[in-house]
Structure 1
Amino acid sequence: MKCNTTIIQILFLFNVCLATLSPPEKKTNKGIKPQEGARKNNVLDRKLVVETPYVKDIIKYHATYHQDTALKNFKNQVLGYVTPWNSKGYDVAKTWAPKFNYISPVWLQIKRQSPNIYIISGLHDVDHAWMKSVKQKGSQSNLKILPRLLFENWQPSDLKAFFIEPTAHTEQKALIDEVKKACKQWKFDGIVLELFSQIGKYIDKSVKFIQNFGLGMNEDALKLILVYPPFRAYPSDEFFIQALNEIYPYVEAVSVMTYDFSNPQKPGPNAPLFWMRLCIEKLIDNDDNPEKRSKILLGLNFYGNSYTANGGGPIVGTEYIELLKNAKTNQALTYNNNTAENYIEVRTSQGAKKIFFPTLYSIQKRLDLAREYGTGVAIWELGQGLDYFYDLL
């Protein structure tokens, strides 16, 4: 009997040792239930704007926001883009309308159909009820709705006729008149024009057209905002730096695309702060003119990227939160001082992923940069980010 007791005790101790030496199970954040809705205090008062936030806090609080959605913390100009393929952006624009000066729904394209005949497509996406609601809620900031208008699929012959042939002036006037007509008919306050990505070698012919466009829109109390490329050390960069001096007096603002610094072929930060600063400094070109500075809208990405060994690509807030649930409990995001961005690496059923996504802290650093130089911001795009981001605006 004593022998049997000794054997049982040895077996018990052996099992205890095995249990002690077994690797602990990696706990994840999948059990955290996000809180939602309005709160009495904003994210600054709630001490959520920190350099290295915990994953569990992002998951728990990302869908909460300050109950006073009209309170502006960022006093400079703010433009927000909305796209038909991301319907949450429409709700964001309504909820936080007082924080915006301009809302730009990505609706419209313009093509040259024949000499002096221009067709605007995309008008089927126009939502008058939504526009009315947004403008009513944004009345205290005198919010304007300016749909984005893209030069789309222009043929070389169209570009040549528009920019360099003897009839170019009448062609340009026909386009401007068509845009003004659409603005009046559909009750737009103007447009955000994107043309540089489509006109190739004719960019040096575009300045006079933009000046005339701005003058023509101004005659009818309509606004023109111009989408502008960031500094990338391309040969064309010097043109854009100099052209801004000739353009800014004629436009409401320029929306600078300071995002997409990295890509799946060259994974990394979305928009390093040092690069955004360089883009501003190149554009202001040592000019202390406050009007010029105020017309620069620094692009802010509210989306991120998830990279894998095989590539990866852009992600929006809902995807980001799901990915974060794979992180370990109490894991904090890593912060890079040079880029002023956070990132995290997680293991998923599809393999390891390195994720770059804006945080409250990284957004605040960029808003501080805009304050420092007296510029505004342009957000691409509303609905892609997390609800508590809007407390900072």
Structure 2
Amino acid sequence: MRCIYTILHVLILLNVSFATLSPPSDKKGQKGVKAQEGPRKHNVLDRKLVNEAPFVKDIIKYHATYHQDVSKRKFENAVLGYVTPWNNKGYDVAKTWAPKFNYVSPVWLQIKRQSPNIYIISGLHDVDHAWMKSLRQKGSDNNLKILPRILFDNWQLSDLKAFFTEPSSVSEQKALIEEVKKACKQWKFDGVVLEMLSQIGKYADRSVKFIQQFGLEMSEDDFSLILVYPPFRGYPTDEFFIQAFNDIYPYVEAVSVMTYDFSNPQKPGPNAPLYWMRLCVEKLIDDDENPSKRSKILLGLNFYGNSYTANGGGPIVGTEYIELLKNAKSNQALSYNNNTAENYVEIRTSQGSKKIFFPTLYSIQKRLDLAREYGTGVAVWELGQGLDYFYDLF
């Protein structure tokens, strides 16, 4: 499902990039607030910026500032950061804060079945070797791994049937695994982040043995495999994924759980309520105190938000968020919902009234605290979308 949302997200972002987001100047708004930029001697906690109801003017003023020591970690559990080619800022963010990440996953690759036992990986034209070299140098103390995301792309029903159910499925799966390992060796990847469960529909229940074998063969060549995993939504298939996690996690390095996109323009609301994220973790761990099991979970953190109008609305990234905040009333503070642990703000623009949900320092801190409580890591979707001072918390 995240694939659909991702496509919609890209289309919306492309539309926004050709539009004028800044409405006419409002002397009573935040237009006079000048944003500061760059490193600072103290982090956001020391500067008392992590507040339940922050002022809009403070977000505008300080969002592009950050602690000068970008190598110091506050969150000790595993951190995965996604980077997308359609949001180039993420490449710079990954380099600047490389010591904060254990894994960086550029969203580069797709794999499709061309013919029996022949698999083609596309997207390799996006591979940036200079960036990878710089990233590894900056993240050397943390042994940072670069794991491109690979997506099952445009698979037909006949492809899925051959891959999962027919007698030839063993050789088909072996061929795909070999193609991925070959690409890792040739392009100097540390492994891959595999996204397939949302693309294979009814064949998901046949995927467990394949994932186990994939994980085993990758580890034999010292490659890592991280699996993208659906969150709990109350669907009939959820029980399968909850049970399958127990069979999968020993064979993969981690599982990146998509705990975002809780709401949408058809059902406006918070991006990822904290109570729902807690439920998603609890469903997977099932009271198991095994720290190895818990540490395999990477709890998804959205660094994008949503701006809703009476006619719908859609996703926004940090630069758009800051421009929208300039329309808020002077000295306006964000509202906070204790149940969802998210902030929101309602503003008027030349395009009409908007209700905006976007991560804040406070909401991110609450989610990092949740991860600490359960001993899980986190996965940020995605690095180019948030605000610079978010990384002081990691």
Shorter-chain TM-score above 0.5: yes
Taking the TM superposition and a 5 Å limit, the aligned residue runs for 1:270-309 are 270-309=271-310
Q: Partners of 1:98 and 1:348 in 2: how far apart? A: 39
Q: Partners of 1:285 and 1:163 in 2: how far apart? A: 29
Q: Partners of 2:167 and 2:119 in 1: how far apart? A: 18
1:267 is matched with 268
1:164 is matched with 165
Contact persistence 1:84–1:125 (CA under 8 A) = yes
Q: Partners of 1:138 and 1:92 in 2: how far apart? A: 12
Aligned to 2:242, the other structure's residue is in SS state helix
Give deviations 1:118-177, integer Å, cap 9, x for gaps: 000000000000000001000011000000000011000000000000010000000000
1:184 is matched with 185
Give deviations 1:34-80, integer Å, cap 9, x for gaps: 00000000000000000000000000000000000000000000000
After the TM superposition, list the runs of 4 or more consecutive aligned residues in structure 1 that deviate by more than 6 angstroms.
Answer: none
2:239 is matched with 238
Contact persistence 1:116–1:170 (CA under 8 A) = yes
Give the C-alpha shift of residue 31 in structure 1.
Answer: 1.0
1:319 is matched with 320
- Give the aligned residue type for 2:153: E
Aligned to 2:199, the other structure's residue is in SS state helix
Give deviations 1:64-112, integer Å, cap 9, x for gaps: 0000000000000000000000000000000000000000000000000
Q: Partners of 1:236 and 1:176 in 2: how far apart? A: 26
1:339 is matched with 340
Give the C-alpha shift of residue 26 in structure 1.
Answer: 6.7
Please list every run of 5 or more consecutive structure 2 residues that lacks an aligned counterpart in the other structure.
Answer: 1-25
2:379 is matched with 378
Give the C-alpha shift of residue 286 in structure 1.
Answer: 1.3
1:48 is matched with 49
Higher Cα radius of gyration: 1
State the aligned residue count.
369
1:103 is matched with 104
Contact persistence 1:304–1:355 (CA under 8 A) = yes
1:218 is matched with 219
Aligned to 2:288, the other structure's residue is in SS state coil
Q: Partners of 2:50 and 2:195 in 1: how far apart? A: 34
Normalising by structure 1, report the TM-score. Answer: 0.93
Q: Partners of 1:26 and 1:266 in 2: how far apart? A: 33
Aligned to 2:57, the other structure's residue is in SS state helix
1:10 is matched with none
Contact persistence 1:26–1:328 (CA under 8 A) = no
Q: Partners of 1:209 and 1:29 in 2: how far apart? A: 54
Q: Partners of 1:200 and 1:328 in 2: how far apart? A: 47
Contact persistence 1:258–1:271 (CA under 8 A) = yes
Q: Partners of 1:111 and 1:28 in 2: how far apart? A: 51
Q: Partners of 2:318 and 2:205 in 1: how far apart? A: 39
2:71 is matched with 70
Q: Partners of 2:171 and 2:178 in 1: how far apart? A: 10
Give deviations 1:152-208, integer Å, cap 9, x for gaps: 110000000000000100000000000000000000000000001110110010000
Q: Partners of 2:305 and 2:205 in 1: how far apart? A: 33
Q: Partners of 1:385 and 1:167 in 2: how far apart? A: 45
Q: Partners of 2:353 and 2:201 in 1: how far apart? A: 39
- Give the aligned residue type for 2:70: T
Taking the TM superposition and a 5 Å limit, the aligned residue runs for 1:352-363 are 352-363=353-364
- Give the aligned residue type for 1:74: F
Please list every run of 5 or more consecutive structure 1 residues that lacks an aligned counterpart in the other structure.
Answer: 1-24
Normalising by structure 2, report the TM-score. Answer: 0.93
1:84 is matched with 85
Q: Partners of 1:253 and 1:334 in 2: how far apart? A: 35
- Give the aligned residue type for 1:229: P
